[in-house]
């Protein structure tokens, strides 16, 4: 498969059997979206955020030209979209427009758009198809791949959701060319995470030339994006419902989700994950698992990507309460993904409160 500029697109298979699908990574992939839609589909609901409204309208026009009925609905940006009220509006549209099990949704935008569209698809008529068209870095390497869907509640992030594999994921790198630099940096936190837990080559590429990595048109950027997507595809293919190895993808996320909730979702997810990874590295180091060199490498790699590695002092009590609601927790026991070394993730259960506070002090500024 080739992109419209003649370069080869990469097709990465995820899963086996009825839960299998492909992630296509390349540039200029608009036609790939249309070919991914089965001929039996008569109605398509495109769920999108305001920054990609033009892309959604163009897609709807192409679908109408192809003889289908296409509807668009704009949702709020970022995590503000992932609420019951927005989900209810999607259900209303699906009902009033007579969507059946042979129809589908398309999520266009960041991770919030694909999470929400996926959950609406999972719950409408107990499951209809969805195609994800992520238009952010984190959406491509994380949210859109793996079949996790969900919404937020006042009690925490993604506590209500379902596993619902998409029909296809189209990761068009051209969609990233106009993103603000901070949004690119924030998304690359998830790419760096992939490097720390399983693919050190990603870290080496970042360390060789961070500025090239931050350029969405550079070959280095395309390589680390593709490597991160392939890693996630491999992990979720082995463990669709997070009962085993998939948990390593939560590296840094225990504290990150607590920070996001504490900041009322005004922090970018990747910024929170960057701080969360440094916290996890401090935890691993102080618990005797991780060397000081790898701990230092966390700070140097993330700083080179313009990501934060510290959080405010005096917030531990509130964050500790939020961490208790983490999905990896079992009863009152906190469970963390930590590293023994680069590419060697393990699980740490029930660290002492003193150790947690000590690690928090080490990342406070």
The catalytic residues are: 126, 148, 190, 232, 242, 246, 250, 253, 257, 269
- Residues 217 and 176: their CA atoms lie apart, in Å, by 9
Does residue 79 have a known ligand-binding role?
A: yes
Short-list 323, 186, 349, 351, CA closest to 255: 323
Does residue 190 have a known ligand-binding role?
A: yes
Contact 77, 264 (CB under 8 A): no
Does residue 66 have a known ligand-binding role?
A: no
Does residue 162 have a known ligand-binding role?
A: no
Sole residue written with tokens 């510290």: 310
Does residue 253 have a known ligand-binding role?
A: yes
Does residue 135 have a known ligand-binding role?
A: yes
Does residue 86 have a known ligand-binding role?
A: no
Does residue 281 have a known ligand-binding role?
A: no
Does residue 332 have a known ligand-binding role?
A: no
- Residues 161 and 117: their CA atoms lie apart, in Å, by 11
Does residue 136 have a known ligand-binding role?
A: yes
Does residue 327 have a known ligand-binding role?
A: no
Q: What b/e string do you get for 281-291 counting C-beta neighbours within 10 Å, with b at 16 or more?
A: bbbbbbeebbe
- Residues 11 and 6: their CA atoms lie apart, in Å, by 15
Does residue 122 have a known ligand-binding role?
A: no
Does residue 148 have a known ligand-binding role?
A: yes
Does residue 77 have a known ligand-binding role?
A: yes
Does residue 174 have a known ligand-binding role?
A: no
Does residue 164 have a known ligand-binding role?
A: no
Q: Which residues does the annotation place in the binding site for Zn(2+)?
A: 190, 253, 269
Q: Which residues does the annotation place in the binding site for NAD(+)?
A: 77-82, 111-115, 135-136, 148, 157
Q: Which residues does the annotation place in the binding site?
A: 77-82, 111-115, 135-136, 148, 157, 190, 253, 269
């Amino acid at each position: 498969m080739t992109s419209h500029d003649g370069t080869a697109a990469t097709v990465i298979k995820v899963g086996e059997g009825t839960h299998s699908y492909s992630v296509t990574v390349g540039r200029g992939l608009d036609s790939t979206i249309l070919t991914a839609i089965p001929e039996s589909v008569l109605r398509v609901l495109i769920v999108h955020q305001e920054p990609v409204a033009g892309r959604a309208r163009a897609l709807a026009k192409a679908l109408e030209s192809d003889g289908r009925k296409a509807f668009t609905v704009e949702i709020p940006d970022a995590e503000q979209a992932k609420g019951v009220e927005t989900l209810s509006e999607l259900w209303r549209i699906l009902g009033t427009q007579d969507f059946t099990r042979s129809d589908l949704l398309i999520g266009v935008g960041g991770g919030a758009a694909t999470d929400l569209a996926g959950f609406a698809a999972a719950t409408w008529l107990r499951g209809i198809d969805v195609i994800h068209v992520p238009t952010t870095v984190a959406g491509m390497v994380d949210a859109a791949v793996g079949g996790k869907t969900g919404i937020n509640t006042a009690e925490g992030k993604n506590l209500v959701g379902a596993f619902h594999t998409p029909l296809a994921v189209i990761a068009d790198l051209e969609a990233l060319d106009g993103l603000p630099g901070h949004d690119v940096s924030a998304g690359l936190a998830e790419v760096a995470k992939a490097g720390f837990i399983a693919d050190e080559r990603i870290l080496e590429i970042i360390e060789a030339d961070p500025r090239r990595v931050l350029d969405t048109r550079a070959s280095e950027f395309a390589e680390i994006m593709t490597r991160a997507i392939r890693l996630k595809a491999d992990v979720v293919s082995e463990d669709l419902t997070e009962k085993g190895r998939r948990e390593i993808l939560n590296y840094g996320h225990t504290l990150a989700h607590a920070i996001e909730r504490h900041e009322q979702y005004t922090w970018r997810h990747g910024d929170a994950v960057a701080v969360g990874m440094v916290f996890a590295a401090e935890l691993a180091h102080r618990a005797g698992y991780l060397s000081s060199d790898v701990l230092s490498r966390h700070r140097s790699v993330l700083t080179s990507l313009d990501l934060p590695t510290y959080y405010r002092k005096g917030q531990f009590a509130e964050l500790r309460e939020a961490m208790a609601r983490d999905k990896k927790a079992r009863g009152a026991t906190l469970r963390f993904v930590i590293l023994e070394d680069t590419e060697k993730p393990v699980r740490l259960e029930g660290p002492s409160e003193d150790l947690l506070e000590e690690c928090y002090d080490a990342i406070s500024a």
